Amino acid sequence: MRPEDLLIPTPKGLYCPPADAFIDPLRPVDRALVTHGHADHARPGNAAVMATPETIAIMAARYGEEFCRSRQPSPYGERQKVGDVAVSFHPAGHVLGSAQILLEWKGFRAVVSGDYKRAPDPTCAPFEVVPCDLFVTEATFGLPVFRHPDPAAEVEKLLDSVKLFPERAHLVGAYSLGKAQRLMLLLRQAGWDEPIHLHGAMVRVTEAYRALGVDVGETIQVAAAERPKLAGAIVICPPSALRELWARKFPDPVAVAASGWLRVRARARQGGVELPLVVSDHADWDELRRTIVDTGAGEIWVTHGEEDALVHWCGTSGLKARPLRLVGYGDEGEGESAGEEDAPSS
Amino acid sequence: MNRFAFLLDRLSYEPRRNAKIRLIADYFRETPDPERGWALAALTGALKFRHAKSGLIRGLIMERTDPVLFDLSYDFVGDLAETVALMWPGEPRANRTPPLSEIVDGLATTAKLDLPKRLETWLDALDETGRWALLKLITGSLRIGASARLAKTAVAALGAEVKPDDVELVWPGLEPPYEDLFAWVEGRGEKPFAEDPAPFRPPMLAHPLEDANFRAFDPKEFAAEWKWDGIRVQASAGTDGEGKHVARLWSRSGEDVSEAFPDLVEALTFDGAIDGELLILREGRVQTFNVLQQRLNRKSVTPKLLAEFPAHIRAYDLLFEGGEDLRELPFSERRKRLEAFVAREANHVVDISPLVAFDDWDGLAAARLDPASAGAGDDAAAVEGLMVKRRDSPYVVGRPKGLWFKWKHDPMTVDAVLMYAQRGHGRRSSFYSDYTFGVWREAGEGQELVPVGKAYFGFTDEELAELDRFVRRNTTNRFGPVREVVHTEDQGLVLEIAFEGIARSARHKSGVAMRFPRVSRIRWDKPTAEADRLESLEKLIAEREIA
C-alpha cells in the first residue's frame, strides 16, 4: 500500500478514506478528528467530533455546547475503530488536551502530530514519541534561527522588569488558550504569589483549565475602572489588546509579549513590543529534527509552517519528505490576536 | 562587549526618544573610557573597518551551516547580522568575553587573512545578543532607531550646561574614543578646540498645506517657490583656525555625504551655509529623480559617473554668511542675502531656486497645477509641488507650526492587481510585504496582466497582516523567495497604487516606470477584471510629455 491510500491532503484538510474522516478540517465535515482546541485546528459546525476529553471540554467552553452534533471522547492511549482504521490519541505537549493522532490500518502506522513541543509545560501532559511509518509534522518554527530559550529565564525577565518599574503595569500579550495558563504557572513557579490580572478574553479558557484540574492560583478579571490602579501588576491579555485603547488606561504600561516569533527582532518591533519573552508552545528547530528521528518514520510529510527548510533537512538526512502546503493552519490567534504565535506561517 | 550589546538590545526595543537618550546616557555614565568612546563611535557611524565586511560574515556562516538553510533563514529574518547571530552553531566554551575596545581594535588591525579566524573565536565566545551586536558593528548599519544626533544628545546630557548643538559644533574635530569630549562635558577638561568651520545645522521642515486652512491666510504675507524633486542637503563651508578651507555636504538628517559628491564639495569655495536641493543638471535642465537615483545607487564615484550625472545645488535659503548667523532674520531678509550671495559667488554648481509669483491663492493653485507655464518651464517634470513660506519666518530647527508649508502635487493612482509577493526587510521583515502589481493589456484572444511596478509601503501594520495572510492563502507558485499570488480575471486582489510620476522605461517589460509607488488602498471590494489597463498608464505619460 501507499501512504496516500491512508491520508490525502485536500482543501478541507487531511482526509483519511478508510476512516471517512478529516483531521482538523478547515470546513464543516461529517466526521472530524481534532488534535487540539486552537481555533485553526478545532472549528465548530462538524457533525461528529472525536478528540481528547480535554479538547472537547475546551471546544465546548469556547464555542458553546452545540459545537457539534455528536462527540466521541478519546482518552490518551485508547484505541477506537473509525471505519476500518484503529485511531488513538497521544500527548503532544502543545496545550492542555493536545494530541497526536495515530492511524493504524493494514499494519501501516501514520501519526499526525497536530502542533507539538518537547519542552516541559506544567499545564499539559508531556509529548510522547509514537513510532510510525509516516509522520505528518507541523513546522511552525522550522528554521534553524528558531531555538527557544529556557522559559523560566524568559519569565525571570518579566519579574526583573516588574521590580525595576514598580510604578508601571506590565501587560503581557499571550494567546488565551495555553500560552496564558502556561505563563501563569511559570510565574507561580518563579515565586510570583500576587493575583494575576486577566483581560476578559482570557477568563473563559482559564476557567475551563481550572475545571480540568490546572491550578493557576488567584486570578482577577480586570474591571475597567480599576485599570489606573494596577501599578506593579501583571496583566495577561490577547496580543492585539496591547495596541488598543484598553491598554492605555493602565499606569504607564509596559508592552510585553510571549511568543516564539519574538526571537526575530523585527517581529517584536512590528507589534510595538518593548519586552519580548520568547516562550513558545511549538517545537523549535532542534525539537522538530529530534522528533522526526525519534519516530523512526521512513516518510515525512510537513503540513504547515516553514516547510521548505525542514523538507530540505530531511533530504540531507536521507529521509523521504514532502511539503503538503496546507493552507489555513497557523492562525491560532486570528480574530483574537493579529500577529500572534502562528500568524506568519505558510 | 556584553554591556554594549545589552545597550543595543534595549535600544532596539525602546520606542520613546527620551528613554533612548536616558539609556545611552546611563551607559556612558557607567562605562569607563575608552570603552564608552568606542560605543559612541559605533552609534554615530564613525567606525569603518577595511577588511571586516558582510562578505566575511557570509563566508563564515556558509562554512558552518547548510547554504540552503541559511538562505531560507535569511529570507525570513531579513537581516544578515541577526540571521547569523541566531543560527551560529556556537558551542559553549570557557572563552573570555572580549571587551568592545578589543573587538574594535581587532577589527581595525587584524590582517585580512587572519580576520575570519579571529571573528570565529569572538562569535563562539559571545551569546546571541553579543553576536548580534558584533555583527551589526561589522555590517555598519545598527538600525536600532538611534541616530548620530541622538547619541550626541546623550553625550550632552552628561553635562550640566552642554547643549546637543555644542557637541555638534566640536564634533568634526574629534576622533574616537573621544576621551577629550567626555572630559569636557563632565567638567573635567577644556572644551575641545577645533570648532568645525563647516558644521551641520538641523534643517527647518514644513507641514503639509492640506492640514492648514490656508485660504484664511493673507497671501501677501507668504512667498512661494518650487519644491524640487531631489534630495534636501546643506552645503556648509568655512575656514578653520589654521587657515584651511573646509567644505562639507550634509544630508537632511545630519549625515556627512561629502564623499559621494566630490564634484560639489570642491566647488564650495565660499564661506557660509546653504540649504538647498541636490539635483542632477544636464545642459542646464533639471533631471528627474529617476536619474538622480542612478547616481545614488553607484557605490564607487568614478570620473565617468561624475561626467554622466553632474550634481548641482539649487539654493532655497542662506543660514550663515561668513561667521554671521542669519537664522533669526525673517525669510524675506535671508532671501535677499541669498540672492546677493549666489550672484557674488557665481558658482557653477549652485544656483538659486526662483520664487513663484502669485497674487492670490487661486493663482498659486493654478501654478501648482501647471508649473511649466508658471516659470518652471522645461524643468516642470522635476517639480513635485510648491513650498509656501511666511515672509517673516525665522529659520527654526525642526517642524515649527504655521511657518512653512509644502503643497505637493496630488498623487496619481491606478487600480492594479497583486501578482507576486516577497518578504520584506527591516521593519517589515518576515511578512510578505513587497508586492509586484500589474495591469491588463491585450494578449491574443483575451487579456493578460503585465507587471508595472513594485510597492512595499503605504499600508498600516494591520493591513500588512491582512495582506500577508492573503498572500499565504492564495499562493499558486513559488520561485525561490517569491510567491506567485492568484491573479486571474475572476480571482485575486486589487490594490490602489498611488505614485508621484510616471515615465517610459526600456528596462521594464511593460515599458513604463513609476516613481514612488505605494499602496494607497486595498480594494477588497473590487473584482480583478475591473482593474486598470496599460493604455491608461500610457495615456498619463503622453499627457505629461505634452505638458
Whole-complex ipTM: 0.91
Ramachandran category for residue A328: left, alpha or beta (phi over 0 → left; psi -120 to 50 → alpha): left
Distance in angstroms (rounded) separating the CA atoms of residues B382 and A188: 64
Distance in angstroms (rounded) separating the CA atoms of residues B126 and B137: 14
- Nearest by Cα to A256 from A165, A337, A172: A172
Query: Residues A245-255: pLDDT tens digits?
Result: 899 899 999 99
**pLDDT score, position B544:** 66
CATH of A151-277, one of 3.40.50.12650, 1.20.140.10, 3.20.20.450, 3.20.20.60: 3.40.50.12650
Distance in angstroms (rounded) separating the CA atoms of residues B109 and B106: 5
Interface of B with A (CB under 8 A): 12-15, 65-66, 68-69, 72-73, 76-79, 82-83, 86-87, 426-431, 461-462, 464-465, 468-469, 472-473, 475
In B264-310, where do the E strands start and end? 272-282, 285-286
Q: Are B387 and B227 in contact (CB under 8 A)?
A: yes
**How far, in Å, are A44, A233, B263, B265, B516 from residue B309 at the CA level?**
64, 61, 10, 15, 21
Q: Are A103 and A270 in contact (CB under 8 A)?
A: no
Residue A335 pLDDT class (50, 70, 90 cuts)? very low
Would the pLDDT of B62 be above 50? Answer: yes
Ramachandran category for residue A217: left, alpha or beta (phi over 0 → left; psi -120 to 50 → alpha): left
What are the residues facing B318 on neighbouring strands?
B274
Q: Are A169 and A150 in contact (CB under 8 A)?
A: no
Would the pLDDT of A211 be above 50? Answer: yes
**How far, in Å, are A36, A40, A218, B152 from residue A47 at the CA level?**
17, 17, 37, 66
What are the residues facing A235 on neighbouring strands?
A171, A197
- Sorted by sequence, the CB contacts under 8 Å of residue B454 that are 6+ apart come out as B434, B435, B436, B437, B517
Helix (H) or strand (E) holding B284: none
Backbone angles phi and psi of A130, in degrees to 5: -115, 105
Largest CA-CA distance found in chain B, in angstroms, rounded: 82
- CATH number belonging to domain B412-546: 2.40.50.140
* CATH architecture of the domain with range B207-408: 2-Layer Sandwich (3.30)
Average pLDDT over residues B23-41: 95
Q: Are B133 and B125 in contact (CB under 8 A)?
A: no
Would the pLDDT of A223 be above 80? Answer: yes
**Residue B103, helix vs strand vs coil:** helix
Distance in angstroms (rounded) separating the CA atoms of residues B271 and B422: 49
Residue B161 pLDDT class (50, 70, 90 cuts)? confident
Q: Are B441 and B410 in contact (CB under 8 A)?
A: no
Residue B240 pLDDT class (50, 70, 90 cuts)? confident
Would the pLDDT of B335 be above 80? Answer: yes
All structural domains of chain B with their residue ranges:
2-139, 207-408, 412-546
**pLDDT score, position B315:** 97
Distance in angstroms (rounded) separating the CA atoms of residues B310 and B308: 6
Distance in angstroms (rounded) separating the CA atoms of residues B316 and A125: 71
**pLDDT score, position A217:** 96
Average pLDDT over residues A12-30: 96
Residue given cell 520613546 in the structure block: B16
- Nearest by Cα to B372 from B537, B229, B226, B504: B226
What's the pTM value of the predicted model, to 2 decimals?
0.74
Instruction: Tally Cβ neighbours within 10 Å of residue A143.
Output: 29
Query: Residues A297-311: pLDDT tens digits?
Result: 999 999 888 899 999
Distance in angstroms (rounded) separating the CA atoms of residues B483 and B267: 49
Å between B136 CA and nearest CA of chain A: 13
All structural domains of chain A with their residue ranges:
3-145+281-323, 151-277
CATH topology of domain A3-145+281-323: Metallo-beta-lactamase; Chain A (3.60.15)
B468 contact residues in A (CB cutoff 8 A): 343-344
Highest-confidence range of A151-160, B365-374, B478-487, by mean pLDDT? A151-160
**pLDDT score, position B427:** 64
Would the pLDDT of B238 be above 60? Answer: yes
Query: Residues B378-412: pLDDT tens digits?
Result: 898 889 899 999 999 999 988 888 899 999 888 88
Query: Residues B435-470: pLDDT tens digits?
Result: 999 999 988 888 999 999 999 888 888 888 889 989
Backbone angles phi and psi of A320, in degrees to 5: -80, 125
Å between A33 CA and nearest CA of chain B: 23
Helix (H) or strand (E) holding B387: strand B383-390
Distance from chain centroid for Cα B280: 18
**Residue A332, helix vs strand vs coil:** coil
CB contact under 8 A, B430 and A266: yes
Domain B2-139 has CATH 1.10.8.50: no
Helix (H) or strand (E) holding B416: strand B412-423
Å between A234 CA and nearest CA of chain B: 20
Residue A266 pLDDT class (50, 70, 90 cuts)? confident
Would the pLDDT of B25 be above 90? Answer: yes
Best probe of the A interface among B23, B128, B135, B430, by most A CBs < 10 A, is: B430
Average pLDDT over residues B309-324: 94
CB contact under 8 A, B468 and A343: yes
